Amino acid sequence: TLAIQEGKIQAIIPQNQVTEKQQGTDLNGQLAIPAFQESHNHLDKTYLSLGWRASQPVKNLKERLADEASELKLLAPSTEQRATAMIEKLIGYGASYIRTHVNIDPYVELENFWGVKRALEKYAHVIDYDIVVFPQHGLLKNPQTVLLMREALKNGGTMVGGLDPAGID
């Protein structure tokens, strides 16, 4: 028998130790398993809710980052909408935890961070989450990014992500 409190399994009680006071639900042979965890996501980068869009081929990481930087300001206003669409998909697939990376950069500063945070907070009653603040466009070549990352950490970012500085900075 599962002891469930506030929607979470608190204990597994052997059947011969269940008391008359404890109420239960017969699961009719169904299996109770932990929910899925989405441990690596980028809610700020999804195109969900915007329609299909082809990825543009590039030759290297530098070109990919330039391509991304060119559209950051256009996409930033829809971050909350896009993140919400992805969160709803993940919850629908059974996820109860999301760890998302969010780019912190000088192009949109904390706009994507705030959009992702608002989207996650709407579902805080259903999911647990962590926000990894991520210096996608470098730290050394963009000193403002360090300050922005600190600000994100003060406002709900829970981890610092990293990248190979030799390839970026």
Q: What is the pLDDT of residues 142-161, one digit of tens each?
A: 889 999 999 999 999 999 99
Which residues neighbour 58 within 8 Å (Cβ) at sequence distance 6 or greater?
Answer: 64, 67
Band of pLDDT at residue 37, cut at 50, 70 and 90? very high
Residue 138 lies in a domain: yes
Residue 44 lies in a domain: yes
Beta strands in 57-118 (DSSP E): 95-103
Which residues neighbour 167 within 8 Å (Cβ) at sequence distance 6 or greater?
Answer: 61
117 CA to centre of own chain:
9
Residue 143 lies in a domain: yes
Q: What is the pLDDT of residues 111-126, one digit of tens each?
A: 999 999 999 999 999 9
Residue 110 lies in a domain: yes
What is the number of structural domains in the chain?
1
Q: What is the pLDDT of residue 17?
A: 86
How does DSSP assign 108-138, residue by residue?
Answer: TBTHHHHHHHHHHHHTTTT-EEEEEEE-TT-
Please tell me the pTM assigned to this model.
0.82
Band of pLDDT at residue 163, cut at 50, 70 and 90? confident
Residue 144 belongs to what domain range?
35-168
C-alpha separations of 81 from 45, 48, 54, 122 in Å: 11, 9, 20, 12
Q: What is the pLDDT of residue 43?
A: 98
Band of pLDDT at residue 14, cut at 50, 70 and 90? confident
Residue 18 lies in a domain: no
Question: Looking at residue 122, which CATH number applies to its domain?
Answer: 3.20.20.140
